Amino acid sequence: MTTTWRHLPAPAREIAQAATEAVGAAQDRDAEAYEPAVGRLAAADRAGLVLGGVVRLLLEEGHPDGLDGDDVRQVLERCVRSNAAWRPDVDPHVLLVLLAGALGVYDPGDDDAPPDPAAIARHAPLLVADLLAATGRPLAGYLSAAFAEVARTELHD
């Protein structure tokens, strides 16, 4: 069963569709489908915010007692190793930025080489797919929760 995302505004719907396609391609290790999907993610405003929310939710679910440095290292190493064969351009620094950003501890001003939106878009689906493999659950629920969180935050700002 696929989610249509019709209830979302057009920009959010584009993020949801592109993220679903990119994560699915990452899960299938389908480079041909991955490239256009991450291109759409890179072009979508706020895609990084939504995917960061998905990553945070997955990390919280996978580590209900909290995350320590060893847990972050294990997630990072597992993601790099599982994707290096089909994505030789996987960059551990970008994945670490995604993890730190999702946890709210990343300051781009402290980074000598902060990744650009295209690098974030190329790596976020890899990390999400890796974290989803640990839960055995589909992406749709996490995306819905991330969109709800963004909407709540925007209402309170």
Give the pTM.
Answer: 0.93
Question: Helix H segments across the chain?
Answer: 10-28, 31-43, 47-62, 69-84, 92-102, 117-135, 139-156
Q: What is the pLDDT of residues 24-67, one digit of tens each?
A: 999 999 999 999 999 999 999 889 899 999 999 999 999 989 88
